[in-house]
Every structure is written in structure tokens, then in C-alpha cells.
Amino acid sequence: MKLKDPVGTEVIRHALETIAEEMRTSLYRTAMTVVVKDMLDYSCALFDARGHLVATALDIPSLLASMGSSLRAAIEKWGKDLHPGDVLMMNHPYMGGVHTSDINIFVPVFAGDKKLVGFAGTIAHHVDWGGRLPGTCATSNRSVFEEGVMYPAVKLVEAGVPNRGVYDIIAANVRNPSMNLGDLRAQVAAARTGERRLARLADRRGSGALTAAIEDLESYGAARTRARIAELPDGIFEAEGFLDDDGAVRGRPVRVHARIEIEGDRMVVDLSGSADQSIGAVNCPMATTRSAVHYAVKCLMADEVPFNEGCMQPVELIAPVGNLFNPHFPAATSVRHATSERLADVLTGALAKALPGFGSAGWFVGWTNFSCESRSPKHQDKVVLLANVAGGAGATPSHDGGSALDVHLANCAIIPAETVEMNYPLRVERYELIRDSGGAGRFRGGLGVRADYRVLGDEPIAFIAETEQANPDFAAAGIDGGQRGSAASMWIDRDGKVERLDDKGEVVVHPGEVVSMRAGGGGGFGQPHERSRSLVEADLRAGWISEEAAEAIYAHGSTGSASVEEATPPDR
């Protein structure tokens, strides 16, 4: 497809993307909680007047494509009553949202001619949004009514005047109101930045020209996506994976199945073969389900293709109501991230069958984490921490998998040990890559991370723990003879007595005791004995594999000729 005005449209495209990046920087610099300013669990985007995604800062993929459905629900409610100075807020999982802890903020943007030209939006994970447990998210939740207050597109600010009632309700229902309200102010400020910049762009270029360029970009994204799909072979491609369980019925796996049908330039993604909705909180609302599909399609595209609503036009999504990926209200959804990451891994696995050489071995998609409430050593106020460790990516036909990655849809960063120790009564005693955790192969899977936290002070702390791929049968799979990555696990050290913790549960940890989170590794690609000696020696030197593994698993790895000094680890 040719753009009507390729130069002008490309200039506007990059202007829009720059605005989204400026919003991102504003939110990063003004947020208060470690989940936003250190873990970077947020996203920023611009939308047209219809609520279609126009431009994004590429942060958390699971949030980006979900924002449009939230905004369109808000437009349906407030479309005839939007005014300059309004700020909309929503987090309802069954009205376009994802889970209650992810708060959407949208600001309508009006040009100088008073025409509505679009919206500036931010979404951020709030470390606690109330509910029955600190941190809100837990597989033991049984309905969304246990997961904090739901807001179905309310006006946080109306014509420039803050809605005191909404602010008061928020403050009355969260465990650390100053932190939540601080992050909300940061989100509003970032959206206001987008509002100013987009309005100025509309005035400089003309609101009509801006709208035409946005529509052109969306059509271009759709055309490029159709062209890419048309390059794939027609046929049906299927893949599946499993969650260990849903946290309610322990030990009963939860099936995630994708059937992708490609015909010409159209793609149908059918999730009907997945499990029915769950009793536990692993249910995945449609907004997140669409994000996972959007992510998989984006993985097919060249970097220069704009990431916008048009990319999903050639893709039909089927997920029956009552399915794990389209649950009935009021099923709990707070742990939907585990399900969506598994879905992303399954979708990319299915697409790899249509495009040999595109895929990789399995990735760790468990998001090992805990949340806890304690007293800050700085000011003694109650504070909530959400901490996670990253795992390994799967190896490819040409490269080792990356280590310590928050894979696929997540993309969160590591919270620095200094930040944890300054703000919580915890000491980070260990943060390291786990030796031998990557699946062996001609190319090795990425390594998982181990993090140990010692409780300080004189008060016990309740930890709400969660991980996936703790079942070795569901650990990241190898391909073409490669071995599985290691499984995830969580442990507690009570005065030298080390015990394994429940993979999804709650535990009281006393002062002096240590909680250890251990993420899984990625799967290997190819037979281990085909790995070159130089790479085996490099892994040994780096401490990524043990001498025992080198001898027992890579004993025949003698195809390379480089010395230890010459070898360089491929994923360093």
C-alpha cells in the first residue's frame, strides 16, 4: 500500500511516537512506587478520537494493546460528555480492563478549533489496590470482588476540577494511599504532557491533516500485516502448553491451546481448545487476550512497521465466553499475567511451525514473585512490596537464549537491591544467575535468576508467593534434541533448615529467616553433544554451567577449536 502523503505521514508518525516517549519519561521521573519507577511496570500511548491505538512507547506489551479496549468502553460511556480538562480513570476487568491493579488514565485532546482529535493514555500497575491481601494479586482469590475496588470509566478530574469523591474512595480502600495517589498524579501528569503535545501538533499541522495521517497509518499497518500473513503458507498450525494449576485445585494442569488458521492474507486465532475459566485467579480477560495475539503478530513484522490498531485488522480472534481467555464476570483475574505469558509462548510456538527458523525453544514464562506488607525503615509507615525474578529465554538455531529476561509480554526491570533495602525491612543477600538452569543443547537456553531476601526488624512478615513452571514436566521445552530448562521454585531458610514453599500460597516469615525465589531457565536447541568445545569452555569460565554438567552432558562437545581465552559467551 502506498501512503497518500508518504513524507508528511512519516513526519507525523515519528512526532506521535516522540510524544509517547516523552509521556513515558514524564511518568518514569515522577512516579513514587518501586513497581513503576524501578520495575517499569507501565505503558503510555496515543489514540485517535475513536479509541484506536495510534502510537506507543514500547514498554509492557501486555498493557499496550489492552488500553484501546478500555478507552473504547470509556468513550461509549462518556463520548457525548467529554470536555477539555477531563481525566478518565478505569480498571474494570469486564469493561475493557485487565485486572484491577492496572489503572488506565485517559485525557481527551482537543485542537484549537475545539475538535476532538484523540486521547493521551497511561496505564500503570499499582503495587496494592486494596482487596483481601496485600498486593491485591493472588491465585487464592476467587472473584474480582476480592481484588480491590473496580472503577467503570469514571471522571477522576472533570473540566479541570478533581473529583474529590473518587480520590477519597481510592484512599479509603488501599493500604498506602499516599503512594497510590502519588502514582496516579504521575499518570495524570504524563497524560497531560501527551495532551499538550498532541494538541500543538494538531494546531501546527491542522486537525484535518492530523486525522487523515492517523487513518493513513492505520491502513498502512493493516496492509503491511496482510502482506506479511500472505507470505506464510496456508494451513492450520497448533500448539499448546500448561499452567501447573490455577491455585485453587492444586496439581491439576490448566490447558492453553491455540489453533492458528492462515488462508491468504487472513489469520484466525482460535483459543476454543483451552481450558474453561478457572476457579482461581488465572483467568485472562479479553483485553489481555487481544494483547497476547497482537504481540505474536508484531513478532512477525519488520521493525519499521508502525505498531497501531491496524495491525490487528487482518486477525480474527475466537475465544468463547466462559473460556479461560474470555471468562464470565465475576471470575478473578488478578493473576492473568501468568496465563497471558503462557499464551504468548504457545502462539509464537504455533507460528514457528508456519515459519521454520522463526521460532525458538521454550521460554520461562512463570513470573516468579512475591508481595508482602511491612513497615518502612525510613518512616515506619505500612508499605507493600512486589518483587520478581526473571528467567531464561529459549535458544534459537543460531544463538543461546538470553538470561535474566522478563520474557514475552512482561518486560519488567529488576528492582535494585539498594532500593529494596532502603524502603523495606529486608536485606537482599543473593541475586545471581542459577548455574545449569539453561537447557543444554547445541545452543543453550538462557539462565534463570535466584534472589534471596532476609527479613530484618522485629516483626514477622506475611509473604504471598506465586510462580509457574514449577512442575518439571512443564518447564521450558527444548527443541530438535535440546533439553528442558530448569523448573522454578521458592524456598525458605529457617535457621539453616531449608524447606520448599508452596508454589502458590502464603507464608509467615519471621525476622532472620530467608525467602529464596528461583526462576526457571530456557530450553536448549539441538543435541548437547553438538555444542562446540569453545562455547562449553566459555560457559565454564563464566560459571554458567558446572564441571559436572560439562562432563556428563557436553562430554562429546569437541567440534570447536577455540581456546578458553579466545571464547566469548554468546549471550553476555
Decide if 228 is inside a domain: no
| pLDDT, position 3 | 66
Residue 291 placed within a domain? no
**Boundary (domain end) residue, out of 187, 222, 257:** 222
Place 2 in a pLDDT band, splitting at 50, 70 and 90: low
Give yes or no for a contact between 147 and 129, defined as CB atoms under 8 angstroms apart. yes
Sort 370 into a burial class: Cβ within 10 Å, 0-12 / 13-18 / 19+.
Answer: buried
Instruction: Determine, yes or no, domain membership for 141.
Output: yes
pLDDT in tens, 452-467: 999 999 999 999 999 9
Q: Is there a domain that residue 379 lies in?
A: yes
Contact present, 461 and 438 (Cβ < 8 Å)? no
The cell 488500553 sits on which residue?
Answer: 67
Q: What is the DSSP letter of 279?
A: S
- Give residue-wise pLDDT tens across range 166-189: 999 999 999 999 999 999 999 999
φ/ψ of residue 431, rounded to 5: -150, 105
Q: What is the mean pLDDT of the chain?
A: 92
Domain count, the chain: 2
State which residues form the domain around 522: 360-572
**What confidence category does residue 558 fall into, taking pLDDT thresholds of 50, 70 and 90?**
very low
Residue 214's CATH number? 3.30.450
To 10 degrees, what angle do helices 286-300 and 207-230 make?
70
Cβ-contact 184, 17 below 8 angstroms: no
How far is the CA of 139 from the CAs of 93, 279, 280, 383, 509, in angstroms?
Answer: 16, 9, 5, 21, 19
275 within domain boundaries = no
What does the alpha-carbon distance between residue 287 and residue 104 come to, in Å, rounded to a whole number?
12
pLDDT at 350 > cutoff 90: yes
Q: Each residue of 358-415: pLDDT tens digit?
A: 789 999 998 899 999 999 998 888 999 999 999 999 999 999 999 999 878 888 888 9
How many C-beta neighbours within 10 Å does residue 29 have?
11
Does some domain include residue 168?
Answer: yes
The answer to whether position 207 is within a domain reads yes
Domain's final residue, options 172, 190, 222: 222
- Residue 239 belongs to a domain: no
Residue 212 CA to residue 252 CA, distance in Å, equals: 52
As a whole number, mean pLDDT of residues 124-131 equals 96
pLDDT digits (tens, 9 = 90+) for 33-66: 999 999 999 999 999 999 999 999 878 877 767 8
Mark which of 166, 198, 222 sits at the end of a domain: 222
Across the beta sheet with 266-270, the strand order is 235-243, 254-263, 266-270, 315-318
ω before 330 within 30° of 0 (cis)? yes
